[in-house]
Structure 1
Amino acid sequence: MRFGVAKDLITPDQPAYMGGYASFFNQQFQGIHDDLYVRTLLVEDGGTKLVFVSLDLLFHDFALTEELQRWVETAYGIPGRHFFLAYSHTHGGPALVGYDDASQHSPAYERFLIDRIQSCVSRAMVNLFEGTLEAGGVDGDWNMNRRRLVDGKMQNKPNPEGAKDDRLHVLRVLDANGRTKVVLFNYACHPVTVRDTPYLSGDYPGRACHLIEAEYYGATGIFFQGAGGNSRPKATAYKGSFITCTYDEVNEMAASIVQAIKRLFANPKAMAPVQPKLAACQFRIRLELEPYPKRHFADIANDPDSWPGLVGMANRVFDGYESQPDFMLLPAGLIRLSADLYIAYMGGEPCYEVKQKLERLFPDVTLLFWGYADAAAYIPDDRILAEGGYEAEGSVVEYGLKGPFRPGIDARMAEAFTTAFRALQ
C-alpha cells in the first residue's frame, strides 16, 4: 500500500463570528487558544485511491464537499465518490455556510478554507510513501448520554444510564521501517467541553492530535467524529446539568484518550494488519419531513426569548417556506478497507442508535462510523423520533428544516446501506 499525509492551518487570520453555541449570540472570537487544522490521508492500493479529509470545524453544508470532489477528479483523476470530508464538530471554530446565520459568514474565510484544503490534499499527493495499515480499538469512558426523561419530557441533561458509544476505533499507518506515520482515531462525543467560550480551539479532538504528534515524532494525528449526536463529554456533567469546563479539563480528556491509544499500540495482539481491498461509494438517503405550519416559524422569530441566531434561522425558513421541499437528501457513503473492515459515512449529527442498527445489519464485519459530513440535521432513529426531545424536534429550526423527520428512518437507512454493501461485494 501507498499513503500520503499532510496537514495545514485553517485558523482565521481576520475577525470572524464564532460557530456553534456562540453563533447564537452573534459573538466574534476574542482570541486563539489553539489553532485549527485540515488534515488529509491518501490511501492507495493498486489502482484505487481514497482521500480522507478531516477539519477542525463545526461543519459546512455539503456544497463544499461537492466542490472539492469535482476539483480532486479534475486535478488528480480520483473519482469524486472516493473523496470523503468530515468535521470534528468543535464548537470553537468560525461560522460557516450551511448552519450559521448568513449574516455571520465570512466570504474571505470561505475562499481561504477552500484554498487550504486543496493545498493540503495536494501536499498529501507529493508526500507519498510505502507502508502498512493496522486497525484496532479499545473502549473508553469519556462521554455521556445527554437525553434524560424528566417529568414525562425528554430533556438535554446527563443520563448516566443512557446508551452511548464507548468504542475508540484506531487506524495506524506505518512506513516501510515500521515507524508510526498516521494515527487516525474515531470516537463519538460532542466537542463542547468549553461550550460558548469565545476563543478558537479544536477542543478535545484537536488537543489529542497535538499529543499524538508529540508522542510519535513525524506522525500526524487525524480525528473523525462518530455517532455523537446524543452524547457529550463526561467531564461536562455536573449535578444533573451540563456545565462549561476549562481548557485544563479539555487537556485531561485528550490525554486520557491518547494514553488509551498508547496502551493499544503497546499490546502486540491489539492491532491487526489490514489486508487491503479498497472500494467506496456515496449516495443520498431521502428522509421525509413532517412540516410545521408556517406560523410556527413566525412565532419563534417574534419570541423575545429566542436567541439572535435562532431568529435569523426562523426568518429564513419563513421567507422560503413555500419553495422548500418536504424532504431532505442526506449524504452518506460506505468505504471498504478490507473484506472485514468497513466505514459508514454520513452527514448531519447521527445519534448512537443509528450506528447500532447499521452494525446489526453487517455482523460479520467491523464497522467504523464517521458522521458529521455536513450540516444536514440531527439524525435520530425511529425510537428517538417517538420519544421526542431536542434531537428529534427541538433542533429543527436551527437547521433550517420545515419540520421533524417522519417515522421510517430505520428502514430507509437499512435499505440504502444494504444496497451499498452489496454493490461493494
Structure 2
Amino acid sequence: MRSRSLSSRKSVAFLLAGFTSCLALPGILDAAELRVGAAQIKITPPDGIPMAGYYNERGSEGVLDDLFARALVFEKDGTKAAMVTLDLITTSAPMVEATRKAVQEQTGIPTEHVLITASHTHTAPIITGRGPRDNVFGGGKDITRQYNATLPGLIAECVEQAQVRLAPAAISLGRATEKNLAFNRRFFLKDGSVAWNPRKLDPNIVEPAGPVDPEVLVLAVNDPKGKPLATLVNFALHPDTVGGSRISADYPGVMAGLVGAWRGGESVTLFANGACGNINHRDVNWEAPQKGPGEATRIGTILAASVFKAARELKPASGDQLRVAREVVKLPLPAITPEQVQKATAIMQEVISGEKKPAFLDQVDAFKVVDVEGRKGAPWEVEVQVITLGNEVAVVSLPGEIFVELGLDIKKLSPFKHTFIAELANGSIGYIPTKRAYGQGAYEVVSARCAAGSGEILVEAAARLLQKLKAAK
C-alpha cells in the first residue's frame, strides 16, 4: 500500500510544468541520422521481500514509491546500443549476463552494447549472486530468488519497448553545478585518523578527506519537432536518505517524478549515479536530522531544480556517430592471512546464529575476507564500458562503488566535453577506493574486495577506451 502523500510534490510538479512549458529544448543532428527510443517498466517487489543496504535482515513493509527500470535505445547507421537504469541497490554479474542475453534474443542488440546501472537506493530488494552477505540477510529466501529470477525478463521487456519506440530524435546537452547536496563522508580528525560518517558538529573534525563532484549533467532527447522523449540525469550522491522498511527509489525517484512532470507526456527520466563511493548527503556542519522520506523529497527537489537550471544552457550536440567499446579488466585481491580467515569464519557463525552481534567493522571485514577467500586467488574480472554519441558525449560504466576522485580523474582525462559516469554498472564488486585511501582505513577500505591500485587501473582502462572511441572514424 502506497502510504506517502504525494500531493505537495504533484503540486510543485504541476506548477513547474506550466511555468517551463514555454522552454524549447534545442535539437541537433539531422533527424534521419539518429533514432532514439525510451521506455520504463515497474519492478516493485512483493511485500515482505528482504531489503538490501545494511548489515541486518529486514523485510519490506509496504511501498513508499515504486521502483522502475528505464531504458534508452540509440540507433545510428544500423548500430544499436541500450542504456538501462535501475532503482535497485546494485547490479550483479549473473543478473547482467542473463539480462543481456534476453535483450539480444528479443531485440538483436548485441550483449556488449547493453549498459546496465543501478541507482544504489538502500530501500530496495537484495540482488542475489553477490556473495555470502546477501545470502545471510535474506538472499536465499524463495521470495528473493523468485524476484531476482523475474528481473532479466522485465528489463529485457523494457529495452524491447524502447526499441519499438525508436524514432528520429535530437539530443541536447547541459550542465549545472550543485554544491549543497553532496558531501565527502570521510574526514580527517584532530588525532590524524580518518573517520567515516562522524557525528554532526563533532569538534574533532578537521576537514573532509576528499572532494565532491558537484556537476549535474543533463542529456535531453526530443523528436524533431521538439516533443520531449527522454532525459538522462547524472549526479554523484549515495541514495541512503529514506531508511526504514518501505520500498522506495529514494531521492532519484523524487527527481525523476519532477523532471518527468516538467518535460511532460510520455517522457522518460533516467538517473545514472556518478562516482559516489565516498559521498553522501550528510552535512556534518548542519545539526538538522537528515533521514527519512522528507529528506529524499528535499534532495530530489533540489536536484530537479538543478536540471531545470541546466535547461537554460542546453546546447545542440555535435557529431553523428554512435560507438561502443568495452574492456574486461583484472583487479587484484587484497592480501588476507589464515588468521583473518579463521576470525572471519567465527564472526560469520555468530552472525548466522544470532547469539552475539559482532562489532560493525568486524562484521564488515568478516564478509570481505570470506568473499576474497572464496576466490582462491583468482583476480576479479570486471568490465569497463563506454558508449559515445558524436564527439561530445561519453557514458562510462564502472563496476562498483567508485570513490569520487576516480570519477573526477576520468572526466579530466576524457576527450569528450560531456562525460557521464555510471557506477554500479554491469556487475559490481563493492567499494573501489583510491590508492591513497587504503592507507587511511575506515569503512569503505575495510569493505573493499579489491587491492589498492584497483581504482587507478579502472581509470586507465576508461581513458584508453575514451581515446580509442574519440579517434575512431
Please, what TM-score do these two structures have when normalized by structure 2? 0.80
Distance across 1 between alignment mates of 2:374 and 2:61 = 39
- Per mean C-alpha deviation after superposition, the further-off stretch among 159-168 and 174-183 is 159-168
Question: What is aligned with 1:29?
Answer: 60
Q: CA deviation at 1:34?
A: 0.6
Distance across 1 between alignment mates of 2:368 and 2:413 = 38
Question: What is aligned with 1:153?
Answer: 193
SS for the counterpart of 1:253 is helix
The number of residue pairs the alignment matches comes to 410
Q: CA deviation at 1:125?
A: 1.6
2:223 is the alignment partner of 1:223: no
Distance across 2 between alignment mates of 1:254 and 1:38 = 18
SS for the counterpart of 1:355 is helix
Query: Which has a greater percent of strand?
Result: 1
Question: What is aligned with 2:173?
Answer: 135
Q: CA deviation at 1:306?
A: 2.5
Code of the residue aligned with 1:298 in structure 2: it is: T
Code of the residue aligned with 1:30 in structure 2: it is: E
Residue of structure 2 aligned with 1:6, choices 39, 54, 64 = 39
2:297 is the alignment partner of 1:251: yes
Give the 5 Å matches for 1:11-22.
Answer: 11-21=44-54
Question: What is aligned with 1:417?
Answer: 462
Cα root mean square deviation, aligned: 2.6
Give the 5 Å matches for 1:65-80.
Answer: 65-80=96-111
Check conservation: 1:25, 1:307, Cα contact below 8 A.
no
- Per mean C-alpha deviation after superposition, the further-off stretch among 275-284 and 37-46 is 275-284
Residue of structure 1 aligned with 2:306, choices 252, 260, 269 = 260
Residue of structure 1 aligned with 2:73, choices 18, 39, 42 = 42
* 1:59-98 C-alpha deviation (Å, 9 max, x unpaired): 1312211222222223322221110000000001011114
Check conservation: 1:101, 1:312, Cα contact below 8 A.
no
Question: What is aligned with 1:95?
Answer: 126
Q: CA deviation at 1:245?
A: 1.3
- Per mean C-alpha deviation after superposition, the further-off stretch among 326-335 and 305-314 is 305-314
* 1:152-201 C-alpha deviation (Å, 9 max, x unpaired): 32211265574000000000001122022211100000001123x11110
Q: CA deviation at 1:28?
A: 0.1
Q: Aligned pair in 2 of structure 1 residues 288, 241: CA closer, same or farther (>3 Å)?
A: farther
Question: What is aligned with 1:283?
Answer: 327
Code of the residue aligned with 1:388 in structure 2: it is: G
Distance across 2 between alignment mates of 1:422 and 1:213 = 34
Distance across 2 between alignment mates of 1:228 and 1:102 = 25
Check conservation: 2:70, 2:84, Cα contact below 8 A.
yes
Distance across 1 between alignment mates of 2:411 and 2:310 = 23
Residue of structure 2 aligned with 1:354, choices 380, 388, 406 = 406
Question: What is aligned with 2:19?
Answer: none
Q: CA deviation at 1:309?
A: 12
Q: Aligned pair in 2 of structure 1 residues 279, 232: CA closer, same or farther (>3 Å)?
A: same
Check conservation: 2:195, 2:442, Cα contact below 8 A.
yes
2:244 is the alignment partner of 1:208: no
Distance across 1 between alignment mates of 2:336 and 2:271 = 37
Q: CA deviation at 1:421?
A: 3.0
Check conservation: 1:212, 1:258, Cα contact below 8 A.
yes
SS for the counterpart of 1:184 is strand
Check conservation: 1:135, 1:274, Cα contact below 8 A.
no
Q: Aligned pair in 2 of structure 1 residues 229, 415: CA closer, same or farther (>3 Å)?
A: closer
SS for the counterpart of 1:388 is coil
Distance across 1 between alignment mates of 2:156 and 2:231 = 22
Q: CA deviation at 1:18?
A: 0.7
- Please, which runs of 5 or more residues in structure 1 have no aligned partner? none
Q: Aligned pair in 2 of structure 1 residues 356, 91: CA closer, same or farther (>3 Å)?
A: same
Question: What is aligned with 2:227?
Answer: 179
